[in-house]
Structure 1
């Protein structure tokens, strides 16, 4: 505030506050993904293999079992992102997935679409290297879905 405005008892002009996000480091995102694979996906595969099928030989010969495992993992992943904006791995590394336009939690459908876009991004591999060249650290699936991965303020 300028002295002249203080002298005349004028209030300073209202300043719009925009939400500033602290982007999550890419190595935290990778570590969170690996943690989620061990905490969510590995138990799903174990249950499918040894509870619903007769063992690893039947699992390996089946084409439907891995698909069901990935689909179930995608639904659980999307539910956790839409409800809490975090998975167990993201919570461990204190990061959240938010809508880039308003900073709120994403919907279940958007989270599920983000998972499918991640599968596409992971198969092309180029989309996973995109965060190294962007200031906002967005991968290809984040750009497609309009999401952002931010560090949680402690």
Structure 2
């Protein structure tokens, strides 16, 4: 944990880290640059020392089929956003959108969408400004046409 640039945890893992290290919630945050905690159906929060906490909600699900791989897909979307130099808020939104596609399908990589479908759902969840900010980067993520 000490010195990590980004620490990704879910609520259970955060509680376990507090228990196992003996550090408080604040002490764990003090040891990393950015901490991202996924909150299940409540979304995610992004925390950094001395900065306001960012809360990102979860896009509306069409169905809840299989939670396997949801955390991994959230992280992959977040990290893809980092690679594109997007804000932490946009990174968390990308991760949440991708995680929503994963939970709607059986299996971790069985989801399919087009670039247009992704952007439409993203805009519906997070607004036109957010969708515009990510749209130019989708090609670099492999979202060119149909996935």
TM-score over 0.5 for the pair = no
Whichever structure has more strand as a proportion of its residues is 2
Whichever structure has more helix as a proportion of its residues is 1
What's the TM-score, normalizing by structure 1?
0.28
